[in-house]
Amino acid sequence: MAKKLSSPFNIVFKPLTCILQLAVFGALLAIVPLAAAQGGDGKAGEDGKKPPAEAAKDAARKVAEIAEAGRLVQGPAGQPECVWTGRRIVSLLWRDDLDTAARHRELYERFGCPAPHVQSAFRCIVRQGELDPKVPDSLNERVHACWVNPQLEPAAPAPAVAAEGAPPAPAPQ
């Protein structure tokens, strides 16, 4: 039997056909995620991102808080890297994210920051009691207050409301 030779047409165009098929497949892979990402209704703010003006205010507030803590906290706990990582550790501990808090604590200690300050700030947070779920930044505000002053006294509880129909308590004389 004689061996058939490939025609010059198959030798030249077969590799080109494969390359063209791969290019079309690659283009489809690139287009499908883009189409899926643009499939939303385009409402701003629903994806969790803040408008640029609000994000800038938030960033400025964070910088001001870290600078304030640096002025008010004596020693290494007032250094910006200690303030930032320490406050994150305390927040993570409050939210029961112990694994992430432990990883942050390794970084905190690597910076030469004092571990007892984290303990004191967390103790302050716990002594303050439960957070108000209606106030979105209540945890951040409390963490900042306790980082600056770990001996912060708990807020006095609101006076108990008297039971309906019960006579008011007599005033002391």
What is this structure's pTM? 0.57
Number of domains in the chain: 1
Q: How far apart are the first and last CA of the chain?
A: 126
What are the pLDDT tens digits along the chain (173 aa)?
A: 555 555 555 555 566 666 766 666 666 566 656 555 555 544 444 455 667 887 787 778 888 888 888 788 888 888 899 999 999 999 999 999 999 999 999 999 999 999 999 999 999 999 988 888 788 788 988 999 999 999 888 765 555 444 455 555 555 55
In a domain, 27, yes or no: no
* Tokens describing residue 15: 């590799």
Q: Please report whether residue 45 resides in a domain.
A: no
Report DSSP state, residue 78. Answer: G
Q: Could you tell me if residue 59 is inside a domain? A: yes
Say how far residue 3 (Cα) sits from the centre of its chain. 70
Supply the range of the domain harboring residue 81: 53-148
pLDDT of residue 42: 47
- For residue 102, being part of any structural domain is answered with yes
